[in-house]
Homo-oligomer: A and B are copies of this chain.
Amino acid sequence: MDKYKVRFVALGGIVGVTKNMYVYEIYENEVLKDILIIDCGIGFPHEKELGVDFVIPDITYLKDKIDKIRAVVLTHGHEDHISALPFHYLELGKPPVYTSKLTAAFIENKFKEFNQPVNVTEVKYGEVYQFGDFKLNFLPVTHSIPDTMHVVIKTPVGNLYHGTDFKMDLTPPFGPPPDFYGITKAGNEGILCLFSDSLGSEREGLTLSEAIVGQVFEDEMRKTKGKFIMTTFSSNISRIRQCVDAAIKFNRKIVFLGRSMRENTRLSAEIGYLPIPNALTAKEEDVRRLPPNKVCLIVAGSQGQYESALSKLANNKNKNVKIKPGDKVIFSSDPIPGNENEVYNVIEELSLQGAEVIYSDIHDELHASGHGNQDDLKFLIRFTKPRYFIPIGGTLRHQLQYQKLVGELGYPKENVFTLEIGETVWFTRNNAYKGDELETKTIYVDAYGVGDVGNMVLRDRKTLSSEGIVVALIMVDSNGRLLARPNIVSRGFVFEKAEEELFEKAARLVEKVLKPRKEHIIDLGIIKKDVEGYLEKFFYQEKGRKPLIVVDVIQI
């Protein structure tokens, strides 16, 4: 029998792509000793019709093991890698969080919104971090957000390489290229298993460098006689920085529109990642009086989200910024599958207002994916020379394509494990095999109203800071029947300890609301909406305040 074993569990990040959360466990003499968690992100579900904003990983499995959790590592600052942590942090026993500079700024800000303290350490590259029997070192890589890191995880059975979202960007506009020496050195020391981003496994060649897009911004800005308007994901700080650099070159004042955009750029500026000369910063109101050819707007809402800053521009609902002929709008992002209609609607509306709109269908180099294509993925394999492979960050389709790639490099296909959420893989010194599957549920989080999907937390920051939040956790069976007393907690709303009765009353109210529906009601969206409505009314009556109400329904 092996003295040491290591087990890997994906609590997210596969099948549905987003909602990344990975658990690594060390067992000594068959007894669980140490747990390492990598990432804890939200997911974007397909079930839009349910009115669901996002999903979060199910951590039920970890609840009786929190004394073994040594650390949470966050690989980069994207929502689908960090934004579920505030929801789970207390239940995970407030583990120490290790991450890079920009990610630290983002996650600390998210915790601030929740009025929760968090213990975040900014890691240093080149140093070794010991968490129980895990020894980690961090390697800077390139992605569509600065400060993305890969993680080498040394365990008693061998070294694992956690290759989160990346591309091999040889000309990153900001920050260093990938740490090729560190990566190949890890490979030279021997990698038992490579966990690799697989989302780009269907696309040939190398992914375009972010630098390509910067050139396009310059070229297009030069030709634009009116306002220059660029939209992208608000977390894509490199992209935003390139647009800012072009604006500086052409002496255009820079205005950020949209809460997520303003917040992320503010955080990035604070840590020195987005330097903008004072003379070129401007506010929304300033746009009314500035000559159009002296304005560069960087706007949230590239996915055509309802009520987003861009959507408001398109629908002539922004009182300070009006689209005029001569203006140019650049979509520096591709529509996420499922969002096409919303995006094309916004494009049409903008065009009707007189803007020239440039988007990926008519221009190739407006957007570079953050995920490595086939050649990027092959390079990582050749660098790390692992024995086993687990594709992460992709659906089954991407995993199978990744398996094919691995085969093309001469490895046996059976050394690639394709996993579903909850599936486990055991590692011993000489072997790897699938273990039992853990049961996991889908946890839907439904925000107060529908809007800027995934950026709910930022959008509601204002409500949170003035009114607080109430979260109701509801467990129902497949028929929508309540399985237990609803659990209601709050933050920043009232002093909970003194208000036990209030929450007891609220829980009874929820039970009453759900009772008549004991059969045939399985529309979670309706359950959520109803419970929200009742709770909102209830707390307003009781306390005269309107906290943000979040209803989580777990269906078992």
- When the two chains form their complex, are residues A382 and B177 in contact, meaning their CB atoms are under 8 A apart? yes
A526 at interface, CB cutoff 8 A: no
Size band of the A side of the interface? 20 to 34
- Expressed in whole angstroms, the minimum distance between the Cβ of A513 and any Cβ of chain B is 59
Interface residues of A in 368-398 (CB under 8 A from B): 375, 378-379, 381-383
* CA distance in complex: A220, B183 (Å): 39
A105 at interface, CB cutoff 8 A: no
Residues of B with C-beta under 8 A to A205: 205-206
- When the two chains form their complex, are residues B206 and A375 in contact, meaning their CB atoms are under 8 A apart? yes
- Taking a contact as CB atoms closer than 8 A, the residue among B171, B381, B410 that contacts A378 in the complex is B171
Interface residues of A in 97-130 (CB under 8 A from B): none
Known contacts A205-B205, A375-B206, A408-B211; A382/B187 CB under 8 A: no
- Expressed in whole angstroms, the minimum distance between the Cβ of A58 and any Cβ of chain B is 38
Contact with B along A528-545 (1 / 0, CB 8 A): 000000000000000000
* CA distance in complex: A409, B170 (Å): 8
Top 3 nearest A-B pairs (CB, nearest first) are: A181-B184, A181-B188, A170-B378
- When the two chains form their complex, are residues B383 and A170 in contact, meaning their CB atoms are under 8 A apart? no
* CA distance in complex: A188, B382 (Å): 18
Interface residues of A in 130-185 (CB under 8 A from B): 168, 170-171, 177-178, 180-181, 183-185
5 more A-B residue pairs beyond the given contacts A181-B383, A184-B185, A205-B206, with a C-beta to C-beta distance below 8 A:
A168-B379, A170-B375, A180-B187, A180-B383, A205-B205
Give me 11 A-to-B residue pairs in the complex whose CB atoms sit less than 8 angstroms apart, sorted by A's number.
A168-B379, A170-B382, A170-B409, A171-B409, A171-B410, A177-B382, A180-B184, A181-B184, A184-B185, A185-B185, A211-B408
What is the chain B residue whose CB lies nearest that of A378?
A: B170
Interface centre among A180, A379, A381, A409 (most CB of B within 10 A): A180
Residues of B with C-beta under 8 A to A382: 170, 177-178, 180
What is the chain B residue whose CB lies nearest that of A374?
A: B170
- Expressed in whole angstroms, the minimum distance between the Cβ of A182 and any Cβ of chain B is 8
- Expressed in whole angstroms, the minimum distance between the Cβ of A214 and any Cβ of chain B is 11
Chain A residues with a Cβ under 8 A of chain B: 168, 170-171, 177-178, 180-181, 183-185, 187-188, 205-206, 211, 375, 378-379, 381-383, 408-410
* CA distance in complex: A516, B181 (Å): 67
* CA distance in complex: A183, B382 (Å): 13
Residues of B with C-beta under 8 A to A409: 170-171
Residues of B with C-beta under 8 A to A383: 180-181
What is the chain B residue whose CB lies nearest that of A180?
A: B184
- Expressed in whole angstroms, the minimum distance between the Cβ of A220 and any Cβ of chain B is 20
* CA distance in complex: A375, B208 (Å): 10
- Expressed in whole angstroms, the minimum distance between the Cβ of A401 and any Cβ of chain B is 16
What is the chain B residue whose CB lies nearest that of A184?
A: B181
What is the chain B residue whose CB lies nearest that of A176?
A: B382
Residues of B with C-beta under 8 A to A181: 184-185, 187-188, 383
What is the chain B residue whose CB lies nearest that of A410?
A: B171
* CA distance in complex: A57, B350 (Å): 65
What is the chain B residue whose CB lies nearest that of A186?
A: B181
Residues of B with C-beta under 8 A to A206: 205-206, 375
Residues of B with C-beta under 8 A to A178: 382
- Expressed in whole angstroms, the minimum distance between the Cβ of A184 and any Cβ of chain B is 4
- Expressed in whole angstroms, the minimum distance between the Cβ of A9 and any Cβ of chain B is 31
* CA distance in complex: A365, B383 (Å): 26
Residues of B with C-beta under 8 A to A170: 375, 378-379, 381-382, 409
- Taking a contact as CB atoms closer than 8 A, the residue among B184, B211, B408 that contacts A184 in the complex is B184
* CA distance in complex: A184, B383 (Å): 10
- Expressed in whole angstroms, the minimum distance between the Cβ of A31 and any Cβ of chain B is 36
What is the chain B residue whose CB lies nearest that of A205?
A: B205
* CA distance in complex: A15, B346 (Å): 55
- Expressed in whole angstroms, the minimum distance between the Cβ of A241 and any Cβ of chain B is 15
- Expressed in whole angstroms, the minimum distance between the Cβ of A364 and any Cβ of chain B is 12
- Expressed in whole angstroms, the minimum distance between the Cβ of A413 and any Cβ of chain B is 15
- Expressed in whole angstroms, the minimum distance between the Cβ of A271 and any Cβ of chain B is 22
Residues of B with C-beta under 8 A to A375: 170, 206
- When the two chains form their complex, are residues A408 and B171 in contact, meaning their CB atoms are under 8 A apart? yes
* CA distance in complex: A383, B379 (Å): 12
